[in-house]
């Protein structure tokens, strides 16, 4: 079974631009969570989607948004990029995002904001 | 809110030796899950081991085992017979067990411990 895939793997943007990252979960997984990883803040939870609905959201500004499609693929969007948005963005999929589910991570998208 | 603390930013061990990584957490929940994830230099995060808080028996996965002390809120990872491929950043993570609200899909991570295995 194929693992979690993320595209693109690397992105370079300039301040003020917007960016869209994509995540394809493991086949059969319906929950997708997104995390931001930086050297200073570590791994922080952004949001979780299940059946095209956002069920949980971390403490990030409204510039960070996401969505999920009927095939469980998910995208996250960051508008009006700031230098501090430079990070590795990881997505993780699980069966239903519930208490017994283990999250499986993708390789990440490295975003650099200049 | 839950917090996870890994007090060892870096550790090193010789190949074939045993090393223990520490993790403590703070929560008012009684039912939860704890995880150790490994992130090698290639950046793909991999699950190493998982522990359900309601289980008293410590989880083991081949060379990896945990020492789960619920009362002390401690969850250490022991790696036996260390191998060069164990070189990675190790993250301890927490998830609330009661599905719903702020539990959905949210792992709370520690800051990580960089483990280097030397030949």
Do residue A35 and residue B107 have CB atoms under 8 angstroms apart?
yes
Do residue B46 and residue A105 have CB atoms under 8 angstroms apart?
yes
Token pair, residue B53, equals 């808080």
Do residue B105 and residue A105 have CB atoms under 8 angstroms apart?
no
Do residue B105 and residue A88 have CB atoms under 8 angstroms apart?
no
Residue B46 contacts A where some CB pair is shorter than 8 Å = yes
How does DSSP assign A77-98, residue by residue?
A: EE-S--GGG-EEEEEEEESSSS
Contact A108, B40 (CB under 8 A): no
| Successive 10-residue mean pLDDT values, chain A, 114 residues | 92 97 96 94 95 93 97 97 97 79 92 97
Residue A4 contacts B where some CB pair is shorter than 8 Å = no
Residue A99 contacts B where some CB pair is shorter than 8 Å = yes
- Residues of A with Cβ-Cβ distance to B96 under 8 angstroms: 99
For B12-69, the pLDDT digits (tens) are 999 999 999 999 999 988 888 999 999 998 778 999 999 988 888 899 999 999 999 9
């Amino acid at each position: 079974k194929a693992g979690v895939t993320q595209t693109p793997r690397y992105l370079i943007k300039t301040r003020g631009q917007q960016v869209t990252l994509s995540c394809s979960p493991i086949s059969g997984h319906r929950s997708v969570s997104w995390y931001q990883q930086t050297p200073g803040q570590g791994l922080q939870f952004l949001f979780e989607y299940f059946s095209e609905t956002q069920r949980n959201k971390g403490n990030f500004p409204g510039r960070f948004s996401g969505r999920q499609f009927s095939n469980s693929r998910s995208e996250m969007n960051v508008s009006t990029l700031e230098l501090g948005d430079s990070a590795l963005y990881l997505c993780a999929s699980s069966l239903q995002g519930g208490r017994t589910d283990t999250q499986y991570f993708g390789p990440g998208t490295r975003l650099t904001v200049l | 809110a839950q917090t996870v603390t890994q007090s060892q930013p870096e550790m090193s061990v010789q190949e074939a030796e045993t090393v223990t990584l520490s993790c403590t957490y703070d929560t008012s929940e009684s039912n939860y899950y704890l995880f150790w994830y490994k992130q090698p230099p290639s950046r793909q995060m991999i699950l190493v081991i998982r522990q359900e808080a309601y289980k008293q028996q410590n989880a083991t996965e081949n060379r990896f085992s945990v020492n789960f002390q619920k009362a002390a809120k401690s969850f250490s990872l022991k790696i036996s017979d260390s191998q060069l491929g164990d070189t990675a950043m190790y993250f301890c993570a927490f998830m609330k067990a009661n599905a719903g609200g702020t539990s959905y899909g949210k792992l709370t991570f520690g800051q990580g411990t960089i483990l280097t295995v030397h030949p």
